[in-house]
Amino acid sequence: MADPIVFAEGLRKSFGDVQALRGLDLSVPRGRVCGVLGPNGAGKTTAVRILATLSDPDAGHARIAGYDVVRQAGEVRARIGLAGQHAAVDEKLTGRGNLRMFGRLSHLPRREAHRRADELLERFGLTDAADRQVAGYSGGMRRRLDLITSLILRPEVLFLDEPTTGLDPRSRGEIWDSVRELVADGTTVLLTTQYLDEADRLADDIAVVDQGRVIATGTPDELKATIGDRLDVVVEDPAALRSAATVLTTLAGTGPTTMDADRLSVALPGGGLRLADVVRELDRAGVAAADVRLRRPTLDEVFLRLTDRKEPVR
């Protein structure tokens, strides 16, 4: 198996009495999207800052493309791109002007900076707006421009920190399409996000971070399989909800994980429960069901189970 392009082992970092990282391990294969998920304060941003050479660990070590992030920071910086939560472009310049400026700041010759700017504008659908001042761009266009400024030097690894925060669904979809294009060309993406549907759609692999450690890794489907399928029941009469809960607890061997005004959900870690049996037992208990269905768990449910939180982080 090829060496991982992003590798961290035993990373520790403290800020005064606060232990941000407590021995974090991470391994990301080349050419994939790794989604890093975790509650606020879990250590995600601290880990990314260390991997991007913006901070040194107190202990442990990390490598990007085989280069140590502390001892060979210059080599690492030449191989990475970083796009933060907020667009870092200059609103007074045009889109083309921003890209040319970033190219020159990245020490590209003038002609190469101009050529690379034109190439990226065309590839990511900003050619028509290239000569407009960025102040007139929509939020989605600004985020796309910010994303492609991090690609001026064709990074092997791109760190994306909350890339679609505050964007409308259409703009989010455009950013997702752009990320997929990058990965198709061989770029490895480390994505931190609190939008779990975003991680579900984009990430090939997921690392869940909590209290400064990676507590679970796997593909989205692998992580979902760890907590089993879900059984959802919607009752016609909300007054019958508790009776329905009693029936499901008996059948599944565990109580409901969620319960709303007229519906409840229960985990089926062992599987093997048939919908016909559920409907029959509900009928025997005098519970009229408006809907009964089996489904795979969502990534939100996996996240809540793993981090033992009552509410998803949004």
- pLDDT (0 to 100) of residue 274: 80
Rounded Cα distance between 244 and 238, Å, is: 10
Mean predicted confidence (pLDDT) in 246-269:
81
Q: Each residue of 1-17: pLDDT tens digit?
A: 578 999 999 999 999 99
For the chain, the average pLDDT equals 88
The secondary structure of 217-241 as a DSSP string is EE-HHHHHHTT-EEEEEEESSGGGH
> Does the structure show a pLDDT above 60 at 240?
yes
- C-alpha closest to that of 237 among 257, 261, 255: 261
> Does the structure show a pLDDT above 70 at 118?
yes
Q: Each residue of 37-84: pLDDT tens digit?
A: 999 889 999 999 999 999 999 999 999 999 999 999 999 999 999 886
Band (pLDDT 50/70/90 cuts) for residue 296 is confident
Domains and CATH numbers, the chain: 6-223 (3.40.50.300), 228-296 (3.30.70.920)
Kindly give, in sequence order, each residue whose CB lies less than 8 Å from that of residue 225, ignoring residues fewer than 6 positions away.
none
Band (pLDDT 50/70/90 cuts) for residue 163 is confident
> Does the structure show a pLDDT above 50 at 206?
yes
pTM of the full structure: 0.80
Mean predicted confidence (pLDDT) in 164-175:
82
